[in-house]
Every structure is written in structure tokens, then in C-alpha cells.
Amino acid sequence: MKWLNSRYVVTWPCRLKCHVADPMSVFFCTQSRSSCVCYAWILLLLLLSYNIQAEAETLDLPPVDVDLVGKIRTTNAQQDDTLLDIARRFDIGQDEIVLANPGVDRWLPPAGAEVVIPGRYILPRAERSGIVLNVPEMRLYYFPPSTRDQQAQMLTYPVSIGRMDWTTPIGTTKVLSKSENPSWRPPQSIREEAEASGEPLPEMIPPGPNNPLGNYAIRLARAGYLIHSTNKPFGVGMRVTHGCVRMYPEDIEKFFPMVPVGTSVNIVDQPVKLGWLFDTLYIEVHPPLEEKQQDPSVLVETAADLIYTIQQRRPLVLDRQALREALEKQNGMPVAIGRSVHD
């Protein structure tokens, strides 16, 4: 099963030798019909489950004193899968899935190999409103407006961010405008870079498969920066852009109509996040941005400051070994490091 043009294409034979190029053709196999129909239903259920997994989950927004959402799952690599295929199937970024599976080959995971899906997150230290983007995490959180009679909800998506020499700016801004099937006029700086690499760009790239913006673009009030789709989806979850924020095409197709013009956008730099799940304190550590990696003690100091602040409000017993391991691994998955102490 492989990804092609945002759809799964099935090209394997069933056990009764009815070769399936079109999944529905199994229903018309002339072999033992009862057995073949059984396999057909199994195949159909598999296809439906893949389609469900390819979409971001809508999560209930937790109460203000709970900071964790989602869950960590496992799956098994299929024949010819790469970790990138699996990441996209479960709406995870490339670096996310690689960090969560250090012993699994990115390009050639063995068939049947267990793969961790790092789908649990500590919410960033920010107001739970509008768009919040945590740059080191390469993940966007969206907190849509809610009504009194509706459970508040949120969505989260993997994104690509700017390279070290084209950083995504930290700070607050808002959604200025939205465009469907946008044209792209590359800035002069990008055209000069492309020409220097031997791949010159035209002044304007029309909508279509060769447009790096894909089918949707959300323009931010900060000049020159967009949240947009892409024609290179396997780069999602990496530092590969000129400062803009890229999303999987299937994610922004859902996200685009939900986000009104004027929505607040808060871009933060939080490689270390701490949060409570009832009486348990968790830490989530991501590799810091490359331009800030010079001193490894910075993450330790950041964690110490955050823990100290928490302890002033809520006494706790700290698991120092778990804290040390989380800071060393930097794998982006929440780890329990302490429990609150009740009088």
C-alpha cells in the first residue's frame, strides 16, 4: 500500500489470486465467492481506517488545570512503508516520528516493525485561543471559538517551519487574508537564491501542481509570511521553508475554512513544556532550534526555572532520573516526572 497523489493505491493480490488494482473488483472475483467477499470486507475496513487516520483528530479542550491531550499509539510497518508514509497516515511530522522511533530506519523499516505514533502533547504555555504555533515542536494548535452549549474543542497539526537562515519569526500576529488556488510571486531574495543554485524561478507561478503554496494560503499580518499547503508533503515536520509554515494538503483543506480572517496567531519558542494531568506532572522536550543549540545547559536551566515556578504554586515530589532522561532524549514525547503532594 503506497501513497500516491494523496490517496492510497492498492496493488496486492488477495490469497485467492484475484489481483486487485481496484479494491472493488474483489467483489466480482470468480474464485470461491464467500471467502473472497470476506477478504473484500477486510480490505474495505482497512481502507476506511487509513482514511480516518489521515485526518487530524478533533480533541476536547481539557479544563484549565489539565495540560495534556491526545494519546501515544503504536502501529506496524507494512511492506514498502517508510516512516514518512506512516507519519502522514497518522498526521505526524517527519522529525516527530523519527525522534519517537530511534531504532527504526527512516527509509526501510522492516515489515511488521512496531512504530510509535507520538500523538500525545502538552499544550504550549499560551492562551488557549486562536492559532498557537510552537516552532521547535513544529506543531500548530488551533483553538476555535466555542459556544456555551458546546464542549470546547481544539485541533493540532504538524507543520514545516523556516530553515536556520530563513527563520519563522516569534511573536504575535493575526490572519490577514485567505486565498484558494493562490498564485505565488517569489520574493527577490528567494529568486536570487534559486538562481544561484541553478534553478531560476519565474516572477509569478500560477496555481497548479508546480506551485509551492499548494491549493490554500493563509496570509499573516506579518509581511511576507503565510500558512499554506505544499506540493512537497513529505517535508512537513522539518525545517525546510523560507520562513512560512507548511501543512499537509489534506490538513489545510480542513483547516482553511475553519479559520476566520482576524484570528490571533501566537508563534512561540518552547523546546521544553511542562504540564499537569491531574496529580502527575509531565515534561515534553524537543531539540532546540539549531541556532540555539550551542550550550546544552540551556535546556536544563529552562526546565529548572519552569519546575521552580510550578513548585511555588503546587508542591510536588520530583523524579529526577525521569527528568534527566527526558532532557537527554529530547524525543518530543511527554514523560511523567513528578506528583503533587497533598497536605
Same domain for 134 and 37? no
Q: What is the mean predicted confidence (pLDDT) over 79-87?
A: 97
Q: What is the mean predicted confidence (pLDDT) over 303-322?
A: 96
Q: What is the mean predicted confidence (pLDDT) over 252-275?
A: 98
Same domain for 239 and 157? yes
> Based on the structure, what is the number of domains in the chain?
3
Which of these three, 241, 268, 295, is where a domain ends?
268
Q: What is the largest CA-CA distance in the chain?
A: 72
Task: Yes or no: say if 290 and 138 are a contact pair by the CB < 8 Å rule.
Answer: no
pLDDT over 50 at 41, yes or no: no
- Going by their DSSP bridges, the two strands 264-268 and 130-134 should be labelled as parallel
Confidence of residue 193 (pLDDT cuts 50, 70, 90): confident
Q: What is the mean predicted confidence (pLDDT) over 178-189?
A: 91
CA pair distance 289, 286, nearest whole angstrom: 9
CA pair distance 56, 64, nearest whole angstrom: 22
Residue 1 is placed in which grid cell? 500500500
Query: What is the DSSP annotation of 285-300?
Result: E-PPPGGG-S-THHHH
Q: Which of 14, 29, 36, 244 is catalytic?
A: 244
Same domain for 154 and 255? yes
Please indicate whether residue 55 or residue 322 has the higher confidence score (pLDDT).
322
- Please give the C-alpha separations between residue 89 and each of 24, 272, 324, in angstroms, as whole numbers: 22, 27, 32
Same domain for 28 and 71? no
Same domain for 6 and 147? no
Which of these three, 268, 283, 301, is where a domain ends?
268
CA pair distance 157, 259, nearest whole angstrom: 14
Residue 287 is placed in which grid cell? 531539540
CB atoms within 10 A of CB 262: 10
Task: Yes or no: say if 284 and 335 are a contact pair by the CB < 8 Å rule.
Answer: yes
Where do the DSSP E strands lie in 164-292?
171-180, 216-220, 226-228, 239-241, 245-246, 264-268, 272-277, 280-285
Report the SS3 class of residue 85.
helix
Lowest mean pLDDT among 68-72, 185-189, 234-238, 311-315: 185-189
Average pLDDT of every residue of the chain? 85
Q: Which helix (H) or strand (E) holds 114?
A: strand 114-122
Q: What is the mean predicted confidence (pLDDT) over 194-213?
A: 89
Same domain for 199 and 122? yes
Same domain for 261 and 280? no
Same domain for 62 and 49? no
Determine whether 228 is an active site residue.
yes
Which of these three, 268, 291, 326, is where a domain ends?
268
pLDDT over 70 at 29, yes or no: no
In this structure, what CATH number is given to the domain that contains residue 92? 2.40.440.10
Same domain for 150 and 20? no
pLDDT digits (tens, 9 = 90+) for 136-175: 999 999 999 988 778 899 999 999 999 887 899 999 999 9
Q: Which of 36, 228, 242, 286 is catalytic?
A: 228
Q: Residue 337: what pLDDT?
A: 98
CA pair distance 49, 329, nearest whole angstrom: 32
Q: Which long-range contacts (CB under 8 A, 24 or more apart) does 299-305 make?
A: 299/271, 299/272, 299/327, 299/330, 300/327, 302/271, 302/272, 303/272, 303/274, 303/327
Q: Residue 57: what pLDDT?
A: 75
Confidence of residue 190 (pLDDT cuts 50, 70, 90): confident
User: Domain of 158?
Assistant: 58-268
Same domain for 253 and 105? yes
Length of the chain: 343
Q: What is the mean predicted confidence (pLDDT) over 273-298?
A: 90
Same domain for 157 and 49? no
Q: Computed from CA positions of residues 180, 182, 187, 191, in that sequence, does the dihedral angle turn out positive or negative?
A: positive
Q: Residue 54: what pLDDT?
A: 53
Please indicate whether residue 149 or residue 135 has the higher confidence score (pLDDT).
135
Same domain for 96 and 25? no
Determine whether 14 is an active site residue.
no
